Amino acid sequence: MIAVNQLTKRYGRYTAVDDVSFHCEPGTVTGFLGPNGAGKSTTMRMICGLTPPTSGTATVDGRPYRQLPNPGRTVGVLLDASAQHAGRTGREALAVAAATMGIDRRGVGEALDRVGLGPVAARRRVRAYSLGMRQRLGLAHALLGNPRVLVLDEPANGLDPEGIFWMRGLLRDFADRGGTVLLSSHLLREVEAVADRLVVIGGGRIVAQGGKEELLAGDGTVVRARDGAALRGALERAGLTASEGAEGLLVQADPDAVGEVALAAGIALTELRPAGGDGLEQLFLTLTATAASPAPVGPAPVGPDASRTDAELTRETVR
Ligand SMILES: Nc1ncnc2c1ncn2[C@@H]1O[C@H](COP(=O)(O)OP(=O)(O)OP(=O)(O)O)[C@@H](O)[C@H]1O
């Protein structure tokens, strides 16, 4: 379990992370989404004790990272795959980590196998590794201590499509066995495919969080009829907001309500479905468009009330 409570980081007058709160539960993959410079890495560095917060707390299994007796046995961390000792072979790098954690050397071979780095790759020096191989080695390092929690910053960077598919399977399996995964990305499709929950950050602030289905359900309804003008008129008379989308009318209401209005007006529909089927991309762009501008200078404004439920926060943000 990861608990982040009202975490704030300021660099001088610049607020990189502003009153961020979220939880990651066992058995789930939480996707941490945001555009470049949103504050994902800074938040993760605070969770892992590498950057001291200006205020707020972050704990893993109830303790701040720095107070964990043998952190690698509790939480596997991959923050920057390129920051590995270039002169060591992959196997040597893991052997050093295993010795530090007090793990049997046999664990090294198992971790290498688990991430698909075969004997030939494991004998090569890290400087000769591609970014994708470094990501795999970084993931092996994170898994080495057999932790219950994983914190991974953009782990799919540099992986080819087969590698991304493989990594999704690995993370899904880890969570299905009761593990907790926090996974950052600015690539929405990547996260959409594996995450159960989403935390969306922009300009240092959380702009939405909740279950993936819940967030997508808040995205409205796509509806079409042969007589589009009549449908639009009926929706407006019923007080529902409708706008022209690429695939029909986008209505800020659930499909049941839209269907009832059409039925009452005697309008035959040719399509009626949740707009969420379009994927997370539109939601992500909408949610972060206003927040992606530089964070405010000076004292941090009061952020969203952390005591409100995810669903309340989600509804408020999506509206
Ligand atoms: N040590 C630092 N000193 C000053 N500003 C910093 C420092 N570290 C991060 N920042 C700033 O804080 C903001 C958030 O950066 P962060 O790296 O957390 O974003 P990110 O969401 O991980 O972005 P990306 O996807 O591009 O890695 C950025 O504007 C960045 O320039």
CB 137 within 8 A of CB 81: yes
CB atoms within 10 A of CB 66: 10
The pLDDT confidence band at residue 221, using thresholds 50, 70 and 90, is confident
Q: Give the global pTM.
A: 0.76
Please indicate whether residue 16, judged by its CB atom, sits closer than 6 Å to ligand 1: yes
Please indicate whether residue 42, judged by its CB atom, sits closer than 6 Å to ligand 1: yes
- The percent of residues above 70 in pLDDT, for the chain, comes to 84
- So what's the ipTM on this one? 0.95
Please indicate whether residue 45, judged by its CB atom, sits closer than 6 Å to ligand 1: no
CB 147 within 8 A of CB 5: no
CATH class of 216-278: alpha beta
Please indicate whether residue 39, judged by its CB atom, sits closer than 6 Å to ligand 1: yes
Q: For residue 150, what are the CA distances in angstroms to 53, 85, 143, 300, 307?
A: 20, 21, 8, 30, 26
Is it true that 2-215 and 216-278 share their CATH fold? no
CATH class of 2-215: alpha beta
To test ligand 1's pocket by mutation, which of 8, 15, 42, 182 has the most ligand atoms within 8 angstroms of CB? 42
Helix, strand, coil proportions of the chain in percent (round to 5)?
40, 25, 35
Average pLDDT of the segment spanning 53-71? 95
In this prediction, residue 219 carries a pLDDT of 67
Name the residue among 50, 126, 49, 71 with its Cα closest to residue 94. 126
The token duo for 213 is 């289905």
CA 41 to ligand 1 center in whole angstroms:
7
Residue 208, pLDDT > 70, answer yes
Q: Where are the domains of the chain?
A: 2-215, 216-278
- The percent of residues above 90 in pLDDT, for the chain, comes to 50
Residue 81, pLDDT > 80, answer no
Please indicate whether residue 203, judged by its CB atom, sits closer than 6 Å to ligand 1: no
CA 247 to ligand 1 center in whole angstroms:
37
Please indicate whether residue 303, judged by its CB atom, sits closer than 6 Å to ligand 1: no
Structure confidence by residue, pLDDT tens digits, 281-319: 666 666 556 554 444 443 333 333 333 333 333 333 333
In this prediction, residue 191 carries a pLDDT of 86
Q: Which atom of ligand 1 is nearest to the CA of 44?
A: 18
Atom 3 in ligand 1: which residue has the minimum CA distance? Answer: 11
The pLDDT confidence band at residue 106, using thresholds 50, 70 and 90, is confident
Atom 10 in ligand 1: which residue has the minimum CA distance? Answer: 16
In this prediction, residue 107 carries a pLDDT of 87
Average pLDDT of the segment spanning 13-22? 96
Please indicate whether residue 205, judged by its CB atom, sits closer than 6 Å to ligand 1: no
The pLDDT confidence band at residue 192, using thresholds 50, 70 and 90, is confident
Provide the edge-to-edge strand list for the sheet that holds 221-225. Answer: 242-245, 248-251, 221-225, 269-274
Q: Which atom of ligand 1 is nearest to the CA of 34?
A: 21
In this prediction, residue 298 carries a pLDDT of 39
